[in-house]
Structure 1
Amino acid sequence: MSEALLDVKNLRVAFAGQPVVHGIDFSIAPGEKLALVGESGSGKTVSALSLLRLVVNAEVTGQALLGGRDLLALTERELRGVRGGDVAVIFQEPMTALNPLYSVGNQIAEVLQLKRGLTARQASAGVVELLASTGIPEPARRARAYPHQLSGGQRQRAMIAMALASQPRLLIADEPTTALDVSLRVQILDLLSDLQRQHGMAVLLITHDLNLVRRFADRVAVMERGHLVEQGAVTRVFEAPEHRYTRKLLESRPERDVAEPAAPGEMATVMKAEGLRVTYPVSLPGFKGWFRKGEFVAVQGVDMTIVPAQTLGIIGESGSGKSTLALAALGLMPHQGRLEVAGTDWAQARKAGRDRALRQRVQVVFQDPFSSLSPRMTVEQIVGEGLQVHQPHLTAAQRRDRVVAALADVGLINDTGSGADWLQRYPHEFSGGQRQRLAIARALIVDPQLLVLDEPTSALDVTVQKQVLALLQRLQRERGLSYLLITHDVDVIRAMAHEVVVMKDGAVVEAGAVDRVLRAPEHPYTRMLVQAAA
C-alpha cells in the first residue's frame, strides 16, 4: 500500500531455526490505530519488537517498510536513528523499563537531547511540558521523582511522555495498561487517543484485552500461534468474526455458574470482621518526627461476614486497602477490631500460639503464580509442603497420593494417570494457567474452609482466565469452599461473587448483594468502576 506508513510483508521470526511467526502481513496508515491481539505465546509482541530488531537472538526475515525504508534491511547504526525517533515503544511494565537510578525527568531529557538536539535548559523545560501533556499533577515536582516514588498510573504516563519526546510517526504500545486498575486503563487509553490525534501519529497496540480494543482501535489483527488469522475493522470483526479463534476470544468473558449459599443465620460463619482496622507507622515532618511516629490508616472500620460456599468480593483500585484487608484475613497483618475464623479470634489465637489450626483453615492463592511458586522446588514438593506442616504424621507415600489427588482435582492429572510425571517438574516448565492451577492445588491440599484469592486471574489471558474461574466455581460447589476474592475486575466479581464490598482509600463506600451493587450502584465511585468496565 503506497499510502501506508508501515507495510509489513511476509514477516517471519525464528529462534535457533524454530519458527514462531509464520509469514504475516499487515499495514498501518498514518494516524491509524491498529490493535494486534492474541493470547500469550501467539507471537504478537515478538512480531512488533522484531520490526526494530529488539528481540535477542531472533532470526527475522521479510519486509517492514516505514515510509519506503525497509527496517529489516537497515544497519544497526541506521536503526538507532529510527528507534526512539520515527518509532517509539511503550513497554508493558514501566517499573522495569525505567531506570531506577535516574529521575524520571532525566530519562525524558536524555531523549530530548539525543533525538531532538535540545540543550540541557531546553530539555528541562520540555520535560515539564511533556509530563503536563500526559496529565501528571505537579509536573515540575514529578520530574525530579524517581520511578519508585510514582504510582503505577504516573509511571505509565511518564513512559508515554518519554515515547512522545521524539515526536514519533509510529508508537508501539505493548500491553500499556495490563498492570493498571480498570479506571486507570480507561484514562491511559483516552490519553493515548488524545495525544495520537494531536500529534497525528499511528499507534500499534499489542494487547489481549478485547474491551480495550473495542474502545481504542480502528482496526484489529488477530494472531494465533504465530499466524495472522483475521484482520479488519474493529466493528466488523467483533460483530461478525470469521475465524473460529476470533470467536473463541470474543466468547471468553467470565460466565457465572455459582450456587446460592444458605443464609448467614442458618450456619456458623467461616470468617467475620467487626470494625477491622489496619494502620502503618509513618514519619512525621519536622522535629515532631524525632519523638514520635504518625499513623497511616490503610483499612478503617470494615465489617464483613463470610459463610460456607459463599464468595465475598472486595473491589477497588490500587491503594484502596483491599490487599491489606486480605493480609489481615490471613493473619499476616496486625489489626484492631475483631476478626474471627470459625468463631476463633485471630489476634487471641496468635498471642496464645494456637494459630496453626487457623492457618490450615485459611489459605491463599496469589496474583502471580510464577513469583509465588519456588523455582527450586518440584511440583511434588510445592504442593505437598503444606502437608508436612499441618499433617506431619503422613508418610512420603501418603503425601504423594494426596498430591496426585490434589492435582487431579484442579485438572492437571486425569483419571488415567496422564500427567503424573509432572510431579518432578519445576514451575518454569508450565504455562501461566497451569501454574495457577498448581497454586490452587497447593492451597487445597490441607482442606481449608476459606481461600483468599488475591487477583487470581489478572495475569492470565482471557481464555485461561475463564478456565481458572470455572475451576474455582466447580471446587466451590463440590467442596463447599468459601472465597474472599480480591480484584479490580468487575467482570470477575460479576461471575464469582455473591456479596461485594467496594473500597476506596481504606474505607467501605458500598456493600451488598452483587446483583444490586453492580446493576444499581449508589455511590459515585462504584458507578465509575462499573462504567469503566463496560
Structure 2
Amino acid sequence: MSAPLLDVRDLRVAFGGKEVVHGASFSIAPGEKLALVGESGSGKTVTALALLGLALNARLSGSALLAGRDGEPPLDLVSAPERRLLQIRGQDIAMIFQEPMTALNPLYTVGDQVAEVLQLKQGLGGRQAWDAAIEALAATGIPEPARRAHAYPHQLSGGQRQRAMIAMALACRPRLLLADEPTTALDVTLRVQILGLLADLQRQTGMAVLLITHDLNLVRRFADRVAVMENGHLVEQGAVDEVFAAPRHAYTRRLIDSRPARDVDEEAAGDQPALLRASGMEVGYSVPIPGFRGWFRRGEFVAVRGADFALAAGRTLGVVGESGSGKSTLALAALGLLPHRGTLDAAGRRWTGSPDADRGLRRQVQVVFQDPFSSLSPRMTVEEIVGEGLLVHEPQLGAPERRQRVLQALADVGLAEAQFPGLLDRYPHEFSGGQRQRLAIARALIVGPQLLVLDEPTSALDVTIQQQVLQLLQRLQREKGLAYLLITHDVDVIRAMAHEVLVMKDGQVLESGPVEQVLGRPSHAYTQALVAAAA
C-alpha cells in the first residue's frame, strides 16, 4: 500500500455547538476511488466541504493530512489558514457540486468559467486560458467544444452542464476530486456516461476520487472502496465487493436491501374500461423561425407524436425515457394543461380548456410532482395545503368536516397527530423530504381522484425513503383502486410499480407493452441500453 494522499483522523464538525460529524476517520490512496455513502443528512457533504474549508461557521477538530508535492511535508487541512486553502482549492483538490445549474454562473459562458480557473490557478493569459478551456471541454466529450464554450449554462443539456463542471474541476489536474452526487440530476444512461468519463479521466491523470452518493448502483460500478455514514458516524468501511457481499452493520444492510420491491395487484382491473386513453396523440409547441420568414409566421416543435396507450383502474402505466423524450409533455397533456391533437380521454371525458367546464374532471385526475419542497407553498400550513382542494370541489363543507377529512387523508399516508404534535399547524419546512412527499400525496387524494399522474415522485428522495413512498403508493392503489400514470427515468421504479410500460425517445413511443416483456425482453436498442444502464 502506498502512503495515503489524504489521511483523515477523528474529524469532527460542529455548528453552533451541535456536532454533526462525529470522529470520522478514513484515507484515500493516490489514484483510488472511495465512495462515501449515506442518506441525506448523514454528514457526507459536510465532511467534504470541511476538507476544503467551505463549511461556513463550522468548528472543526481532528486532522486531515494532505500529502505534500515533491517531498514537501503534509498539510493539515483542518488547521490550515484560509490563504493556504485558497491555493489548495482547484489546484490540489477540486470539487464537483450536485446541481450544475445552480453551481455554474448564469451570467458567464462555460468557456469563460473554465478559463477563469486556469487564469487564477495557473497564471495563463486570456488566449492561452481560452484554448486550454476548449481542450478541457473536449476531454469531457462535449460535442463541438469550440462552439459550446460560447454557450451559457441554460443553453446546455443537463449532461452537458455536468461535463462543463467536470472540465472546470479538472482543468488544473488536481490530485483529489470530491464529486458530490455528480449524477443525481441526470438520466440513467447519462449517469453511466458521466461515471465512465470520470473513470477514464481518473485513469489518465492518476487522481484520486471521493464520490459522495446515495446511489448504490453507482458505487458498485465505480468505486474501489466504500465508507458508509449514518447520522455523522462512519459505521462501516471496506472494499466494495466485500461490503456489498457481507455487510456487517445493520444500517449498511438496510441501504443494500432498499431497492424498490414489487408489491402490486397483477390482475387488477384487467377487463375494466380505460380511465385514460390516447390514440394518435400529438403535442406541439410554437417556436420562432430564424431569419426573414420568422417575421410572418412561427414554426412548431412536436414534443409528442403519435402516442397510443390505455390505462385502467387499479393499474400503473409507466412512461420511461431520458430528459427531453416527451415524458413530462405527455403528462401535462393528460392533466389537461397542454393542447393536443388526436384523441385523449380522461375518466370518460375530454379536456375542454375551460376552467369551469373542466372542474369536475380535475377532481378525477390529480398530480404528485417531483419535488415536494417546491410544489408545497411555504406560507401555508398542513391543514391549508391538504384541505385546499376541498374548498374548490366541496365548498359546502364546514370547517369541522373539512378538518376531519384532512386528518383522514393524512392518516391514509401515514401522518398522524400522535406522531407529529400540532401536525395541522405545521409548515412544509418542518418535515423531511419523504414526509413532504406524503403531504403532496394526501393533497392529491383528499378529493377522491380516480387517476394520479406521478411525475418522478421519488427521484428527489434517498433510497430508503424512496422505498417507503413506493410502498405507500402500492398500498393506496390496492385499497382505493387508483390508476397511476408514472413518469420516471428510473428503471427500478418502473419494475416495482408498472403493469404496462411506454418507452419514449425524442417524442416518439419506441416500445410498449407489459412490464415483464418490455424490460425482460426489450426489442428496441434504446430500451436495451436503458435496461443495461440500470443493471
**Whole-angstrom distance in 2 between the partners of 1:390 and 1:307:** 24
The match for 2:490 is 489
Greater CA drift, 254-263 or 75-84: 254-263
Q: TM-score scaled to structure 1, two decimals?
A: 0.98
Is the contact between residue 2 and residue 29 of structure 2 (CA under 8 Å) also seen in structure 1? no
Determine the structure 2 residue equivalent to 1:283. Answer: 288
Match of 1:442 in 2: 443
State the shift of 1:2 in Å. 7.2
Sequence identity percentage: 72
Q: Deviation above 6 Å: which 4+ runs of structure 1?
A: none
Q: Is residue 269 of structure 2 the alignment partner of residue 253 of structure 1? A: no
CA contact (8 A) 1:503 1:509 kept: yes
Q: Report the counterpart of residue 138 of structure 1 in structure 2.
A: 144
Deviation string 1:136-192 (CA, Å, 9 cap, x unpaired) is 000000000000000000000000000011110000000000000000000000000
1:275 deviates by: 1.0
For the 8 Å contact 2:269–2:315, the answer to whether it is kept is: no
Q: Deviations over 1:81-103 (max 9, x none)?
A: 00111000000000000000000
Aligned to 2:34: 34
Residue among 243, 265, 286 paired with 1:237:
243
| 1:113 corresponding residue in structure 2 | 119
Distance 1:231 1:311 in 2: 39
The residue type paired with residue 369 of structure 2 is: F
Aligned partner of 2:55 in structure 1 is 55
Q: CA shift at 1:32, angstroms?
A: 0.3
CA distance in structure 1 between the partners assigned to 2:267 and 2:108 by the alignment? 53
**Structure 1 contact 33–203 (Cα < 8 Å) conserved:** yes
Aligned to 1:219: 225
2:78 counterpart SS class: helix
Q: Distance in 1 between matches of 2:60 and 2:2?
A: 23
- Distance in 2 (CA, whole Å) between partners of 1:75 and 1:461 is 35
Superposition pairs for residues 34-433 of structure 1, below 5 Å? Answer: 34-67=34-67, 68-262=74-268, 266-347=271-352, 350-351=353-354, 353-413=356-416, 417-419=418-420, 421-433=422-434
Aligned partner of 1:23 in structure 2 is 23
Which moved further from structure 2: 313-322 or 268-277? 268-277
1:7–1:26 contact (8 Å) kept in structure 2: yes
Matched position secondary structure for 1:48:
helix
Look up the match of 1:464: 465
User: 1:442, 1:91 → 2: CA distance?
Assistant: 33
CA 1:351 to 1:19, structure 2 compared with 1: closer, same or farther past 3 Å?
closer
CA contact (8 A) 1:261 1:308 kept: no
Report the Cα distance in structure 2 between the residues aligned to 1:374 and 1:283, rounded to whole angstroms.
34
Describe the superposition over 1:41-78 as per-residue Cα deviations: whole angstroms up to 9, x where unpaired: 10011011101110111111110100111011111111
Whichever residue aligns with residue 474 of structure 2, its letter is: Q
Question: Deviation string for 1:248-292 (max 9, x for gaps)?
Answer: 00000000000024465x322211111111000111121011111
Helix, strand or coil for the counterpart of 1:223? Answer: strand
Matched residue type, 2:389: G
Residues 1:79 and 1:239: Cα distance change in structure 2 (over 3 Å): same
Provide TM-score, normalisation by structure 2: 0.98
Q: CA deviation at 1:420?
A: 5.2
Match of 1:528 in 2: 529
- Report how many aligned residue pairs link the two structures: 529
1:119: Cα distance to partner?
1.1
CA distance, structure 2, for counterparts of residue 195 and residue 300 of structure 1: 39
CA contact (8 A) 2:378 2:428 kept: yes
> Post-superposition shift, 1:419?
2.8
Contact 2:269 2:313 in 1 (8 A): no
Q: Do residues 14 (structure 1) and 14 (structure 2) align?
A: yes
Which stretch has the larger CA shift, 480-489 or 254-263?
254-263
Which amino acid in the other structure matches residue 504 of structure 2? M
Preserved CA contact (<8 Å) 2:8 2:65:
yes
Structure 2, unmatched stretches of 5+, are 68-73
